[in-house]
């Protein structure tokens, strides 16, 4: 394995996902590799950037943007937790179905 290649870990941001992140952190630390955390969201950043037209669309878009922000914050917290354990970690919230 190329030491510059990151360990990629998908997480659903649940307790089980946190355990997967823990395992990925330990693997990355053992290999001296960076960690890339990824969370797929079917209502991700791309869907909240469309210009709203109606009042209902504006309200829905605001709720979706808040949901995306909460998920991004959770993902960033996981990356910070990995960094506290000595691993260089980045996080990406991507559009798409988790499964």
pTM, two decimals, is 0.81
DSSP string, the chain: --TTSPEEEE--SSHHHHHHHHHHHHHHHHHT--EEEEEEETT-GGGGSSPP-SHHHHHHHHHHHHHHHHHHHHHHHHHHHHHHTT--EEEEEEES---
d(CA 35, CA 78): 11
Question: pLDDT tens, position by position, for the chain (99 residues)?
Answer: 566 799 999 999 999 999 999 999 999 999 999 999 999 987 765 555 667 678 888 888 888 888 889 999 999 999 999 999 999 999 999 888 777
The pLDDT score that the predictor gives to residue 61 is 82
The pLDDT score that the predictor gives to residue 48 is 58
**Strand pairing class (35-41; 89-95):** parallel
d(CA 63, CA 56): 11
**Strand pairing class (7-10; 89-95):** unpaired
């Amino acid at each position: 394995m190329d030491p510059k290649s990151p360990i990629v870990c998908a997480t659903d941001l649940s307790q089980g996902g946190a355990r997967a992140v823990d395992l990925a952190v330990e693997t990355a630390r053992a290999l001296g590799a960076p960690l890339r955390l990824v969370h797929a969201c079917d209502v991700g950043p791309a869907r909240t950037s469309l210009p709203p037209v109606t009042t209902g669309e504006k309200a829905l878009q605001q709720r979706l943007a808040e949901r995306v922000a909460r998920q991004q914050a959770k993902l960033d917290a996981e990356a910070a937790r990995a960094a506290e354990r000595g691993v260089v970690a980045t996080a990406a919230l991507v559009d798409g179905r988790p499964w």
